[in-house]
Amino acid sequence: MDAAGFDVFAGVRRESDADDLRSEASERLQPLTVDVADSDSIVAAAGTVAKAVGDRGLAGLVNNAGITVQGPLEFVPIEDLRRQFEVNVVGQVATIQAFLPLLRRARGRIVNMSSIGGRVANAFLGPYQSSKFALEGLTDALRKELRPWGMHVVAIEPGSVDTRMWGKGIDSGREMIETLPHEAQERYGDQLRAVLAMAEKVAKRAIPPDRVAKVVERALTAPRPRTRYLVGPDARVQLAIGKLLPDRAADAVEARFMGL
């Protein structure tokens, strides 16, 4: 968006990330420290943006924050599940509420970074993907609520993307397997290791982040944006299988593909 000529407020959590952005962007880009799980941080960020944009308002808000919690639902710690929804769902709504007054001034748009995991669920990704299912529902509801004011709300649904989050997910998957209780190891250990091996193979075919960024730009600038954008070949394949096959047949295809 900076390259396209927009004034950009780029959310970061670490000063080192802010420095990286400054080194690669124009003077129009302003890093903004914000943590979507911290309400005071969100309010402060909205105040900073409000002072900068004034009556112009805000052309767009991209909700890109997210974390991944994974593992067999039988053994996922409830506090981890709460954290998953706090960041991926509640934090998104809190951010939208804080910035909506600025978006209304410019009849701006909201772009929520969902996932193909918000349309198709896989074994052992239940916490993460259920949060994305929730974000899909929130996106649809908000789109209908803001329609009378001509404000668009869009979901972006990538498949595997070559980002640090994907790498962190594989690393945390290894750690999760090692820290499971003995009973969970006996029941799910072999399956989890098979899924992790598949994830490492998929990571090698992940699309570059720029592919997703270009779709975000399209969602923010198209005269009539789609309500949702699928990004990446694996996302399209997963959705097609889910649409073409009955649930149990799709389950069987997934189990064979993932070595379960």
Catalytic site residue from 128, 133, 188, 229: 128
Q: Is the pLDDT of residue 83 over 90?
A: yes
Question: At 129, which CATH number?
Answer: 3.40.50.720
Q: How far is CA 193 from the centre of its chain?
A: 25
- Is residue 21 in a domain? no
Q: Is 128 a known active-site residue? A: yes
| pLDDT one-digit tens code per residue, 171-220 | 777 888 888 888 988 899 888 888 888 888 887 888 999 999 999 999 99
| pLDDT one-digit tens code per residue, 101-157 | 999 999 999 999 999 999 999 999 999 999 999 999 999 999 999 999 999 999 999
- How far is the C-alpha of 201 from the C-alpha of 79, rounded, in Å? 30
- Is residue 185 in a domain? no
Strands, E assignment, the chain: 8-12, 29-33, 60-63, 109-113, 153-158, 228-231
- Is residue 177 in a domain? no
Q: Tell me the whole-structure pTM to 2 decimals.
A: 0.93
Task: Provide φ and ψ at 153, rounded to 5°.
Answer: -130, 125
- Is residue 124 in a domain? yes
- Is residue 15 in a domain? no
pLDDT reported for residue 52:
96
Predicted confidence band of residue 61 (pLDDT cuts 50, 70, 90): very high
- Is residue 62 in a domain? yes
- Is residue 167 in a domain? no
- Is residue 126 in a domain? yes
Nearest residue to 125 (alpha-carbon basis) of 155, 91, 88, 93: 88
Q: How many domains does the structure of the chain reveal?
A: 1
Quote the domain boundaries for residue 69: 34-160+208-240
